[in-house]
Amino acid sequence: MKKSSFCKPRLMLLVVMFWLLACPLILAAGTDGIPQREDIEDKYKWQVEDMYEDISVWEADFKLLESGLVGYEKYEGHLGDSPEMLLNCLKLSDSLGVIDGNLYVYAYLKLDEDNRRSEYQELGGRISALDARFEEAGAFIEPELLTLDLGKIESFMKEKPELEVYRFYFENMMRQKEHILSSEEEGIIAQAAPLIQTPLKVFNMIDNADHKLGTVVDSSGKKIELTYGRYLRILKGTDREMRRIANDTVQQSWLRYINTLAATFGSSLEKDLFLTKVREYNSTLERTLDDDNIPQEVYNNLIETVNANLAPLHKWISLRKKVLGYDTLFTYDLSVSLVPEFEKKYSYQETKKMVLKGLKPLGKQYLKDFEMGLNSGWVDVFENEGKGSGAYQWGTYTSHPYVLMNFDSTLSSLFTLAHEMGHALNSYYSNQKEPYLYHNHSTFTAEVASTCNEAILMKYLLTNAESKEEKLVLLEHYIRQIDGTFFTQVMFSEFEQAVHEHLQNGGATSVDYFRKTYRDIFQKYHGPDLTVGINNDMSGMKIYHFYRTFYVYQYATSYAAAQMLSQKILEGDKKALEAYMTFLATGSSKYPVDILKDAGVDVTGPEPVERTIRLFGELVDEMERFLEAK
Ligand SMILES: [Zn+2]
C-alpha cells in the first residue's frame, strides 16, 4: 500500500541560492529570553490531546497495531485467490495505516513541543520501530499485485464492487509494470539499495559533518565562526566588505572538497543512469517523471518558456546594480535589500485579522473554516525552549491539521501563517472527501494551496500599504519570492537536465565540466549585469536536492500553477473559485497534472509560466517607478 500513512512535515518555501532551509537554521545566537512551554497561554498552543486524550489511549492503539500486523500472514501469497482475499487485505492495510499514522504523528508532535523531553523521545523511538515493522509486514502487497494481470483485477472489481475504490491505485501501479523486472532481477536491485544510497550519504557527511564554512572577523575585531544562518545574515547585511570576505571564505572552504564533491555528484548521476538503463527508460528524466505520470512536455515547456522570457530577470539584476550604485555587481550582492531599514511589527492578533481580511476572495466557507482552525487548537504559535524550529503543517487522516510556527511578529511570519494554513485546509478538505488511500497530496500539487494563499494575501497587502516604504518592502519580498521559488528552481532544473543528458550521451564528468556548465547557465539567467565571482560556480555540486533527482522543478511548476489560480480567483471568476475548492478537496485520487487541469491550470502548456513571468516583470517595473519617485 502507500508508503506512509501521513504526510511528513513540509519545508517552507525552498529558499534557493544557498539551500538554507534544508539545513538547520542556526539563527538565534543564544536562548536568552525564550520562554518555557508552560509559560505560554494554552490558547496559543495546538491541542495534540485531540488525537489521544493521554498516553494510555496511545498505548492501547500501539498494542492494537502491533497485534494487527500478524493479520497480514493469511494474505501473503493469496491475493489472487479471490476478490474477498484481496479486499480484506487492502482494508486491513488501510485500517492499520490509520492507526500507524496517529501513533506516529502524535509522538512527534508532542516531541516537537519540547525536544528535550525524554518520554516523547522514547515514544518516537518506539513508534518509528513499529512503523518500520508495519511497512515490512505489508511490503509483499505491491509486488504480489504486480504478478496479477489487470484483467483479473478487473473481474475481481466486478465481483466485489467495494474494490472499485482501489481502481486508480491498481491502474497507477500497473502503468509502470513494463519497467518492473523479474523477481530475481528485482531482488538484485533491492540488494544494491545501500549502494544506491551511497552518493547521498557521502554528500551528507561532507555537508553536515566534515565541511566547515570557516571563520571571519567582524568590524569590531570579533572572530565569528560561520554557520549557514550567520552567513546568510552577512549576505543580507549592508556591510559590503564583510559580504565579500564571507563569500570568499565560504567558497574557499568548499574548494578543499571540490574533487570529492565532483566525484560524489558524478556517482549520483551514474547511479541514476544505471537505474534508467536496467528499468528500460529512455532517459533519467523520463524515469523520474513517470513516478507521478508527469508528461515530459511539462518539464521541457517550463525550461523553454523561461528561456524565451529572461528579460525581466535581467532587468531585476540591472535595477539592483543601479540602486546599489556599484560598478560591478557580484554574486554576494544578490541578497542585500534595496529598501532602507523598514520594519513593521505585527502582533499575532493583528496577523490573524490581516490574513483573514486578505483571504476574503477565497469565499465565505474557506474563511469560516480558516477561522475555525485558528480557534480550535490547530496552531502552535510561539517559540519556547526546546520547540521544533521553522514552520510546518502535519496531521493524520482522522485528526485535524496541526501547524507549527515560531511566530516572531514579522512580515515573514504573516505569510507563514497564510502558507501553512493553506496546507492545513487542503488536508482538512481532502481528508473529508477522499478515502484513506488517496488523502495525501503529491509533491507536484502540495505547494499550490499554500502558495495561492500567499499570492492572494500579497495582493491585499500591496493594495493596502500605508506608506511608500511599506509598499517597497512588499514588492521586494514578492520579487525575491518569485526569483527564489520560480526562476532559481528553473535554472537548477536546466542544470540538472544538462548534466544527466551529458552523462547519458557518453560524456565524462569532472570538476571543470560541472563548474563551467553551472557558470554558463547561471550567467545566462542573470544577464550581463551580474559578475559571477571566480569561485561562485560550485553550487551545482553541492545542492542537496540534486541528489533527489529532478525534484526541484516542482517548486517552479506548482508556483506558476498557484499564481495562475490566484489571479483567476482575484479576478472574481466564480467558476474558478468553485474549481479551486474542488481542487482543495482532492488528494491523490487522480494524476497530479489532471488534478490541476480540473482546477483550471494546464501545466503542459506555457500559460501559467508566462503569467508568472509577466507578473514578475510588472513587479520589477513597479519597484523601479517607486524607487525613482522616492
Ligand atoms: Zn509549503
Ligand 1 mean position to 548 CA, how many Å? 18
Q: Which amino acid is at 380?
A: D
**Average pLDDT, integer, range 435-449:** 95
Q: How confident is the model at residue 344 (pLDDT cuts 50, 70, 90)?
A: confident
pLDDT 10s digits, 564-607: 999 999 999 999 999 999 999 999 999 999 999 999 999 999 99
pLDDT at 240 over 50: yes
Ligand 1 mean position to 178 CA, how many Å? 34
Q: Would you state the pLDDT for residue 32?
A: 57
Residues found in the chain: 630
Q: Would you state the pLDDT for residue 134?
A: 96
Q: For 336-396, give the DSSP string.
A: S-SS-S------HHHHHHHHHHHTGGG-HHHHHHHHHHHTTT-EE-S--TTPPPS-EEE--
Q: Would you state the pLDDT for residue 1?
A: 29
- Name which of 554, 562, 416, 536 is nearest 489 in CA terms: 554
Ligand 1 mean position to 468 CA, how many Å? 30
| Bridge pairing between strands 223-225 and 215-217 | antiparallel
Ligand 1 mean position to 321 CA, how many Å? 31
pLDDT at 16 over 70: no
**Average pLDDT, integer, range 219-225:** 90
Q: What percent of the chain has pLDDT over 90?
A: 87
Q: Which helix (H) or strand (E) holds 448?
A: helix 443-463
pLDDT at 298 over 90: yes
Q: What percent of the chain has pLDDT over 70?
A: 95
User: Across the chain, what does the average pLDDT equal?
Assistant: 92
Who has greater pLDDT, 7 or 350? 350
Ligand 1 mean position to 561 CA, how many Å? 14
Ligand 1 mean position to 391 CA, how many Å? 9
pLDDT at 449 over 90: yes
Sheet arrangement for strand 392-394: 379-380, 402-404, 392-394
As given in the structure block, the three cell numbers for residue 283 are 532517459
pLDDT at 38 over 60: yes
User: Residue 390 CA to chain centroid, in angstroms?
Assistant: 13
Q: Would you state the pLDDT for residue 149?
A: 85
Q: Would you state the pLDDT for residue 630?
A: 63
Is 420 marked active-site? yes
Who has greater pLDDT, 2 or 292? 292
Query: ∠ CA 38-408-347 to the nearest 5 degrees?
Result: 90
pLDDT at 270 over 70: yes
Ligand 1 mean position to 577 CA, how many Å? 21
Please pick, among 113, 383, 420, 496, the residue that the annotation labels catalytic: 420
**Average pLDDT, integer, range 320-324:** 96
Q: Would you state the pLDDT for residue 256?
A: 95
Ligand 1 mean position to 420 CA, how many Å? 6
Question: What global pTM score does this model have?
Answer: 0.91
- Burial string for 437-460 (b: 16+ CB within 10 Å, else e) reads bbbbbbebbbbbbbbbbbbbbbbb
pLDDT at 25 over 60: no
Ligand 1 mean position to 563 CA, how many Å? 14
Ligand 1 mean position to 94 CA, how many Å? 26
Q: How confident is the model at residue 209 (pLDDT cuts 50, 70, 90)?
A: confident
Q: How confident is the model at residue 297 (pLDDT cuts 50, 70, 90)?
A: very high
> DSSP letter at 288?
H
3 state SS of 603: coil
User: Exposed, middle or buried: residue 361 (CB in 10 Å: 0-12, 13-18, 19+)?
Assistant: middle
3 state SS of 601: coil
**Average pLDDT, integer, range 540-562:** 95
> Look-up: residue for cell 522514547?
122
Q: How confident is the model at residue 14 (pLDDT cuts 50, 70, 90)?
A: very low
Ligand 1 mean position to 374 CA, how many Å? 18
Q: How confident is the model at residue 183 (pLDDT cuts 50, 70, 90)?
A: confident
Q: Which amino acid is at 222?
A: K
